[in-house]
Amino acid sequence: MHITITGNLGSGKSTICKILEDKYGFEIYSTGKVQRELARQMNITTLEMNQLMCSDHKYDNMIDDTTARISRENPDKNIIFDSRLAWHFVEKSFKVFLSVGLDIAAERVMKDNRGKEEQYSSIEEAKEKLFQRAQTENMRYKDIYNLEYFNFSNYNLVIESAYSSPELIASIIMKEAKDYYALIADNHGQMVDRTRILLSPKSLYKEEVTKEERNALKGRISEYEKIKELPNVQIAAWKDGDSYQVLSALEEVKAAKEAGVPFLLTALNIQ
């Protein structure tokens, strides 16, 4: 299998890729390391490197050509591509997007040791710089490739990384990837256009569930507590930035949250 993993800055891509390498035997190809090393060699920040790449596309082309070549030359190897755009350049892959809100992303990068190029003096500075970097990268991808990086329909699996352990997320990615490759086999080797979005009930409903609500949902909560895999329910929600408004099955979201269900399959309308 070839699995391409991208996502929001600070979403935990490198950590999850390392688990997939250690536990499931995948090789990792990381273009982020290439970009950070280029910035270090030029004695500039990662954000400055992104801005430079907006005007000089030779760095993008170098990374993209290498990614495509590795995928073509290794069709029988299990490879994880930890890369912003590998989903576009790897011809046949299971495309994963890791989603995380800006507040949690900023907290994570503040704790990480990413070198002097990515050091921040406060959470607010981290949020501002992460937002700027994401905007810069998105503009560059649209300019060079006419791609909408944050359009979830580009991916086969969108999974939130804010409230679940990397180990759990890695195991779900593996299960979803195996299911997806089984669909391809059933489709005579042709790729399948399918997107599944898995979000945490904690993000879908951030308010506290009241005692009265919990009592009313007691039976449903008990049923959710018995579930070992994803519940057989799909939630509809509206996404605006980092916020969600549940459009259907709100009581199911509340019950799942109280039962500690990590993810719900969600259909999203995005602002």
Per-residue model confidence (pLDDT) at position 96? 98
CA angle in degrees (0–180, nearest 5) for 47-51-57: 125
Q: What are phi and psi of 205, to 5 degrees?
A: -140, 100
Can you give the pLDDT of all 271 residues of the chain as single tens digits?
999 999 998 899 989 999 999 999 999 988 877 777 778 878 888 888 778 877 787 877 877 888 888 889 898 999 999 988 999 999 889 999 999 988 898 888 877 765 555 677 788 888 888 888 888 888 888 988 899 999 999 999 999 999 999 999 999 999 999 999 999 999 888 888 899 999 999 999 999 999 999 999 999 999 999 987 789 889 999 988 888 999 999 999 999 999 999 999 999 886 5
CATH classification (class only), 2-193: alpha beta
Q: What is the residue type of 223?
A: E
Residues of the chain with CATH 3.40.50.300: 2-193
Per-residue model confidence (pLDDT) at position 190? 84
Residues of the chain with CATH 3.90.1530: 200-270
CA angle in degrees (0–180, nearest 5) for 24-95-71: 75
Residue 234 near residue 266 (C-beta atoms within 8 A): yes
Report the sign of the C-alpha dihedral through residues 74, 79, 83, 86, in that order.
Answer: positive
Per-residue model confidence (pLDDT) at position 116? 54
Q: What are phi and psi of 255, to 5 degrees?
A: -65, -40
Cα(99)–Cα(51) distance, rounded to whole angstroms?
23
Report the relative pairing of strands 2-7 and 94-99 from DSSP bridges: parallel
Tell me the CATH number for domain 200-270: 3.90.1530
222 Cβ partners below 8 Å, 6+ apart? 259
pTM, to two decimals: 0.87
Closest CA to 198 of 171, 151, 161: 161
